[in-house]
Structure 1
Amino acid sequence: MSFIDQPLAGLRRSATVLVITLGLSLGEALASPPALTLAEALERARANNPALAAAGWSVDIARGEREQASLLPNPELSWEMEDTRSDTRTTTVQISQPIELGGKRGARTALAERGIDAAGVEVERARNELRAEVIQAFYGALQADMRVSLAEQSQALAKRGVVIAEGRVRAGKVSPIELTRAQVQLAEVGLELRRATQERASAQVQLQVALGGDASAALKPVGDAAELPRMPDASGLMGALPGSAELRLAQRLIDQQDAAFSLEKRRRIPDLNISLGSQYSAEDRERVNVVGLSMPIPLFDRNQGNVLAAARRADQARDQRNAAELRLRGAVQQALGQWQAASAEVEAFQSALLPAASRAVDSTARGFEMGKFAFLDVLDAQRTLIQARSGYVQALASATAAWVSLERIYGDVSRIDRPGT
C-alpha cells in the first residue's frame, strides 16, 4: 500500500466507525419510547379518545332536536275532483294549516332545551370519566415500572444470597440444603419479576387505550408513582357533591321529565285546522270560495295515559336523583377511608418498614458470613423485605384507586378546596 493509500484507508475506517456509531445512537433513540407526563397524557386523551368524541356529538344532536321542536307545522295543499265528466265535474283546490293550541310548540321547545342542558352535563361527566381513566392508567404504568424495579432489586438480593450460600457450602460450613433453599427463593423472585414485567406490558396497553392511540406503541410515563395529591377535606367534598356532574345530570333529567309532563298536559287540548280554497263547477260555470274549520273532539282519547306516564316518570327521576346522591355519598366516604388507610400504610412503609427490613437483610447477611446467624435467618429477612416491597406497591395502588374514584365523581379534585368552587 502506498503512502497515499494509507491515509485514505484510515479515513475510510474512521468514516465507517462514525456511521456505525451514529446508526447505533439513532437506533437507540428510535427504540426508546417517548416520555409522557400526566398533563400531556390528559391533553392527548381529550384530543384523541373516541368515547369522549362520541359524547361530544350529543350536544349537537340535542341542538338539532331543539331546532326541529320549534318549527311550525307545514301547511297542506289538496286538490279534489267530483264527477269525472267534463261537463258536470266540480274541482276544489284548498290549502290547510294546522294551528297548535294550548302552547304545545313552546312546551315542546322547552323540553328540547332541557335536552341540550342534559347533553352538556353528560359531556362533562364523560370528561371526568376519561380523566379518571387516564390517571388510573398513567399511575398504573408508573407503579408497574416500580414493581419491576423492586422485583429486579429483589432478584439481585436473592442472587446475593445464593452466592453467600455457595461460598459457605464450599467451605463446608453449612449444609447443601441451605444452597437449595436460596436457589428456591431465587426462582420465586424470578417468577415475581416475570409477572411484574407482564403487568407492565398490560399497563402500557391500558394507557394507550385510554389515550386513544395504538395499543402496541410503547410509552414512558414520567413521574413519581409515590407522589399522590393531598387528600381533600371530607366536609369540602360533601359540600361540593351537589355540584358534581352526576347529580347535576340527575337534576337535568328531573327538569326534562317535568317539561315532558307539561307537554303531555298541553296535548290534551286539540289542535285547530283551518282550510281556505276555491271550488269550480263546470256545470254551473261558477267559482266559489271554500273556508273550513275542523277540530278533533276529545271524547275518548284525552291523552290521559301519556299524562299519567309522564307524571310517573317525573317522580321516578326524583327518586333516582335521591338514590344517586345516597350512592355518591357512600362512595365518597368509602374512597376517603380507603385513601386515608392506604396513605397511612404508604407512610409506614416509607418511614419504618422498608428501611428496617433492608437493614435486617444487611445485618443477617453479614452475620451469616461471620457464622453468627443461620441461613434461614437470611432467607427470612430477604422474604420479609420482598413482601414489604410488594405491600408498598399495593398500598400505593390502593391510594391511587381511591383518588381515581373521587376524580370520577368530581373531576379535578384539587379544585374543591379552592375558594369559589
Structure 2
Amino acid sequence: MAQARAALGIQQAEALPTLAAQAGGQRQRVPGDLNLTGRPVVGNDFQVGLGLASWELDFWGRVRSLEGAARESFLASEAAQAAARLSLITQVAQADLALRELDERLALANLTVSSRSESLRIFTRRVEVGATSRLALTQVQTLLTQAQALSAQLDLARANQAHALMLLVGGPLDSRTVPLLAATRLAELQPGLPAELLDHRPDLLAAEHQLKAANANIGAARAAFFPRIALTGQAGTASAELNGLFATGSAAWSFAPQITLPLFDGGRREANLAGAQARRDEALARYEATVQGAFRDVNDALAARQGLARQLAIAQQALAAQRERARLSTLRYDAGSAAFLEVLDAQRDLLAAEQQQVQAQRALLSSQVSLYAALGGDAL
C-alpha cells in the first residue's frame, strides 16, 4: 500500500509544472581561424535563472486518466490490506476455537483417565479378594489405556495448535479460562440478508477499484491518439562577466512550446489501446467472479450454521443417551444381570460421544466466524 501511495504521488506530480533554479558558467577559447578577428578569443558566459521543464498541457485527459488509474490502484491496495487484516483475524479466531476445543476434549479425557484409574484400583482389589475375575480386570485396564492414549494424543495436538496460534498473534498466549460456548458471541442471522452487506467485503472493494483503474488506463491509451502539447522555457539573467549578471539589460528568457502528433508508429498506439481494453475485460471478469464467490461464501456459511446447529443438537441428545446407558449398564453389572463387556462398550461409546459433542460445538462456532468473514467483518 505504501508503494501504491508513492506511485500515486508521482503521477499527481505529472499534472504540475516542474520548476528548477539554474546557474551556470562557461569559459572557452576560440581559435583565430574560427572567428572573424583572426585571433584567438577567450570568452566567458554566466547565467542565472528559473527553468520550466517540459510540461504537458493535458487537453485530452491523458495525465488525468493516468492519475485516476494510480488513485484506483492505491485504493485497491488499501482494500487488499484490509482483506489481509480480515484474513488474519479469521485465522486467529479459528485457531483460538480449535485450541479451546482441544482444551475441553483434553479435560474430558483426563477426567476419564482419573475415573478409570479409580475403577482399576477397585477391580484390582476385587480380584485380590476373589470378588471378580481377572478378565474383568483386563477389560478395565483396556478402558484405561484407551483413555490414556486419547489423552496423550490430544495433549500433543493441543501443543501444536498452541504453537500455531502463537505464530499468528506474534507472542505468548493468555491463560484460557473462557468456556468454548462463550468464546464467540455473534448475532443470530437468517437467510435473506440484504446484498448491501457484501459491500463491506474488502476483496470486492479491491476488485472494484482494479476495474476502475483499468477503465482509466483505457482513457489514457485513447488520449495518445491526440496531439501532445508541451511547454519548455526559462527566464533569468545572462552576462559575459560574473559581476554583470544582475546589471540593467542582462535579462534573458526563452519560451519553446511544442506540439507532437505521431503519424506512424507501427501500430504501437492501437496495440496499447487493445491491451488496455483486454486488461479491462480481465478486471471485469475478476470482479464478477469475486461477487459470485462472495454470495457463495455467505450462502455456504448460512447453510453450515443451520446444518451444524442440528448436528450439535443431535450430538447433545446422543451424549445424554450414552450417559444414561453407561449408568444403567453399571447398575446391571453390579446387580449381576450383565457381563462387564456391556459396561466396557457403554464406557467406550460415552467417551466418544463426549468428544463428538465438543467437536460439533466448535464446528458451529467456526461457522459463525466464517459468516463474519464472508460478510466482510464489519457487518455484525
Give the drift of 1:376. Answer: 0.6
Matched residue, 2:30: 85
Whichever residue aligns with residue 298 of structure 2, its letter is V
Is 1:331 equivalent to 2:292 in the alignment? Answer: no
Residue in structure 1 matched with residue 350 of structure 2 by the alignment: 385
> Which residue number in structure 2 is paired with residue 317 of structure 1?
283
Structure 1 window deviating more from structure 2 (246-255 vs 379-388): it is 246-255
Q: What's the secondary structure of 2:180's corresponding residue? A: coil
Between stretches 145-154 and 398-407, larger displacement belongs to: 398-407
The equivalent residue for 1:31 is none
Name 1:66's counterpart in structure 2.
8
User: CA 1:245/1:273 → structure 2, altered by over 3 Å: closer, same or farther?
Assistant: closer
Equivalent of residue 137 in structure 2, options 137, 157, 179: 179
Q: Give, in angstroms, the shift of residue 322 of structure 1.
A: 1.1
Larger displacement relative to structure 2 (384-393 or 302-311): 302-311
Query: Is the CA contact 1:338–1:398 (under 8 Å) kept in the aligned structure 2?
Result: no
Give the structure 1 partner of residue 246 of structure 2: none
Q: Does 1:222 pair with 2:222?
A: no
- Cα distance change, pair 288–345 in 1 and its aligned pair in 2 (3 A): closer
Q: What is the alpha-carbon distance in structure 1 between the residues aligned to residue 84 and residue 233 of structure 2?
A: 52
Return the match for 2:90 from 129, 132, 135: 132
Q: For residues 310-354 of structure 1, what are the alpha-carbon distances to aligned partners after superposition, in whole Å with 9 as ceiling and x for unaligned?
A: 11111111111111122222222222222222222222333x222
Indicate the residue corresponding to 1:45 in structure 2.
none
> Does the Cα contact within 8 Å between 1:268 and 1:303 map onto a contact in 2?
yes
Deviations 1:176-211 (A, max 9, x none): 233222212211211110111122222322332222
Task: Give the C-alpha shift of residue 383 in structure 1.
Answer: 0.8
Partner of 1:220: helix, strand, or coil? coil
- Alignment partner, residue 153 of structure 2: 195
Aligned match of 1:247: 204
Q: What is the aligned partner in structure 2 of residue 303 from structure 1?
A: 269
- TM-aligned CA distance change 1:197 to 1:304, over 3 Å: same
Q: Deviations over 1:105-127 (max 9, x none)?
A: 32222222223322332232233
SS at match of 2:30: coil
Provide the rounded CA distance (Å) in 1 between the counterparts of 2:351 and 2:358: 11
Q: Give per-residue Cα distances to partners, 1:257-285, cap 9 Å, x unaligned.
A: 1112222222333433445579x9x9xxx
Change (3 A) 1:318 1:379: same
Secondary structure at 2:54's aligned position in 1?
A: strand
Instruction: Report SS of the residue matched to 1:347.
Output: helix
Equivalence map 1:274-285=2 (5 Å) = 274-276=231-233
Aligned residue number for residue 261 of structure 1: 218
Task: State the distance in 2 between where 1:105 and 1:344 align.
Answer: 59
CA contact (8 A) 1:98 1:272 kept: no
For the structure 1 residues 92 and 267, does the alpha-carbon distance in structure 2 shift closer, same or farther, using more than 3 Å as the test? farther
Which residue number in structure 2 is paired with residue 406 of structure 1?
A: 371
Query: 1:60-101: CA deviations, max 9, x gaps?
Result: 4433322221213536879999x9735547999896642324
1:142 maps to what in 2? 100
1:155 is the counterpart of 2:99: no
Whole-angstrom CA distance in 2 between matches of 1:70 and 1:333:
42
Counting only pairs closer than 5 Å after superposition, residues 96-111 of structure 1 correspond to structure 2 as: 97-100=53-56, 101=58, 102-111=60-69
Answering whether residue 235 of structure 2 is matched by residue 235 of structure 1, we say no
Q: Any conservation in 2 of the 1:257–1:313 contact (CA below 8 Å)? A: yes
Residues 128 and 407 in structure 1, CA contact (< 8 A), matched pair in contact too: no
TM superposition score normalised by structure 1: 0.72
Letter in 2 for 1:132: T
The secondary structure found in structure 2 opposite 1:183 is: helix
* Deviation of the 1:412 alpha carbon: 3.8
Supply the AA of the counterpart residue of 1:271.
R
8 Å Cα contact 1:141/1:221 also seen in 2: no
C-alpha contact 1:242 1:248 (8 A) present in aligned 2 = yes
Does the aligned pair in 2 maintain the 1:147–1:390 contact within 8 Å? yes
| One-letter amino acid of the structure 2 residue matched with residue 338 of structure 1 | A
Q: Matches of 1:275 and 1:253 in 2, distance apart?
A: 35
Instruction: Say if 2:228 and 2:261, in contact at 8 Å, map to a contact too.
Output: no
CA RMSD of aligned residues (A): 3.5
Structure 2, unaligned stretches of length 5 or more?
36-42, 241-250
Q: TM-score, normalised by structure 2?
A: 0.79
Partner SS state of residue 219, structure 1: coil
Amino acid at match of 1:349: A
Amino acid at match of 2:30: R
The alpha carbon displacement at 1:172 in A equals 4.2
Q: Distance in 2 between matches of 1:247 and 1:256?
A: 14
Distance 2:163 2:302 in 1: 29
Q: Tell me what 2:75 maps to.
A: 117
Using the TM superposition, give the Cα deviation of residue 226 of structure 1 relative to its aligned residue in structure 2, in angstroms. Answer: 2.2
Query: 1:384 offset after TM fit, Å?
Result: 0.9
- Residue 295 of structure 1 and its aligned partner are, at CA, apart by 3.9
Contact 1:97 1:275 survives alignment (8 Å)? yes
Report how far residue 397 of structure 1 moved: 2.7
Seen in structure 2, the aligned counterparts of structure 1 residues 203 and 65 have a Cα distance that, compared at 3 Å, is same
